[in-house]
Amino acid sequence: MSLGAKALIFSEATSSQAFAERFALSAESKVAQLLTAAVTEVHNLIKRFRPSQDEWRKVIDFLTEVGHASDERRQEWVLLSDLIGASALVEDINTRRPTSATPNTIRGPFFRSDAPVRASGASISLDGIGEPLAVSVRVQDLDGLPIAGAEVVTWQANAEGFYENQQPDLQPEHNLRGLFHTDAKGRFDYHSVMPAGYGVPNDGPVGRLLADAGYPLRRPAHLHFVIRAKGFETITTHIYDASDPHLAEDALFGVRPELITCFKPTDIGGRRGRAIDLTFVMMRAKPARAA
């Protein structure tokens, strides 16, 4: 049976081209172009390292295990994307901003969209366990003018380095999470506890693979924020503790110099604690990217 005059015979030398030619009718599709480029890179890796059938099967088994480890509480594929720097790279490409604007980082795997609304001055620490932390926040535009009514979601790990949805039986529901709104001066305050740095989960296939390869799986202590305001680009970012020894090896590539803050010792309600004063700078959204 003839394959046709234009059909390319698949071989080691022609593998990538043979795959690409199957997209002849959708060559202008960005998805087709991305898929072709990805497959070409996979083929190049196979040609370079020349794995046996059993070795390649181990790669397939790993990807299968990643899928099985993902559910509504845990997204192992997101963790893989985060740990190889893919999430950070996509974020960087799509959110280029002036140097005076707050940079974006990745959201991370422990975000919840149902953080409870809290009033300025409230505490997001529902169990009160840990060193007290006072947080003062201001949201402004590139001209330094306050942005009133901005919605700010914050979440963090506890003093032992665990998020509430990692320990549903040990921490209160929505512990260390809150949704605040800025006042007319673009401000609000809240109370919390000092977060601890932590190791990226290594009980799943992604963590085990990278740990076995000697990859650093630490995250420095940080707070998460998502800031939204009408007419402005949404900010998704972290604030990092300047005293954390693991800043240079953040497993998720989120640390930026402008996001490192000194958590200053202070007295909070008669207890020794820390305090930070944060300013987030938003840029106006382009028409195509407006919320």
Q: Give yes or no: residues 37 and 103 share one domain.
A: no
The span from the CA of 265 to the CA of 149, in Å, is 30
103 in the same domain as 31: no
My answer on whether 27 and 102 are in the same domain is: no
Domain containing 175 equals 97-199+217-289
* Number of C-beta neighbours around residue 81 at 10 A: 19
Q: Is the residue at 25 inside a domain?
A: yes
Q: How confident is the model at residue 70, as a pLDDT?
A: 81
- DSSP secondary structure string for all residues of the chain: ----TTPPPP-TTTHHHHHHHTTGGGTT-HHHHHHHHHHHHHHHHHHHH---HHHHHHHHHHHHHHHHT--SS--HHHHHHHHTTHHHHHHHHH----TTSPPP----TT--TTPPB--TT-B--SS--SSEEEEEEEEEETTS-B-TT-EEEEEE--TTS--GGG-TTTS-TTTTEEEEE--TTSEEEEEEE----EEPP-SSHHHHHHHHTT---EE--EEEEEEE-TTBPPEEEEEEETT-TTGGG-TT----GGGEE--EEEEETTEEEEEEEEEEEE-BPPGGG--
How far is 27 from 117, CA to CA, in rounded Å? 48
Is residue 212 assigned to a domain? no
Query: What is the pLDDT, as a whole number, of residue 191?
Result: 98
**Residues 166 and 247 both lie in one domain:** yes
At 277, list the tokens.
Answer: 């004063």
Please report the pLDDT score of residue 1 as a whole number. Answer: 46
**How far, rounded to the nearest angstrom, does the alpha carbon of residue 187 sit from its chain's CA centroid?**
25
Q: CA-CA distance, 41 to 154, in Å (whole number)?
A: 38
Pair 3, 118 in one domain: no
Measured from the Cβ of residue 91, the count of other Cβ atoms closer than 10 Å reads 18
- For β-strands 260-261 and 235-241, DSSP reports them as parallel
Residues 117 and 236 in one domain: yes
Six token digits for residue 79: 């963790």
CATH code where residue 135 lies? 2.60.130.10
Same domain, 177 and 269: yes
In this prediction, residue 216 carries a pLDDT of: 86
Our count of domains for the chain comes to 2
What's the CA gap between 197 and 252, in Å, rounded?
13
Neighbours of 45 (CB within 10 A): 12
Q: Answer whether residue 175 is part of any domain.
A: yes
- Residue recorded with tokens 């005059």: 5
| The predicted structure's pLDDT at residue 17 | 85
What is the Cα gyration radius of the chain? 23
Same domain, 23 and 148: no
What pLDDT, in 10s, does the model give residues 32-69? 888 888 889 999 999 999 999 999 999 899 989 988 88
pLDDT tens-digit map of 101-132: 999 998 887 899 999 999 999 999 999 999 99
Low-confidence ranges of the chain (pLDDT < 50): 1-2, 290-291
Half-sphere exposure for 228 (CA within 13 Å, toward CB): 9
Name the token pair of 171. Answer: 């921490």
Residues 232, 167 share a domain: yes
**pLDDT for the residue numbered 192:** 98
Burial class (CB in 10 A: 0-12, 13-18, 19+), 205: buried
225 and 285 co-located in one domain: yes
At residue 179, the pLDDT reads 98
pTM of this structure: 0.82
d(CA 91, CA 75): 18
Look at residue 23 in the predicted model and tell me its pLDDT. Answer: 73
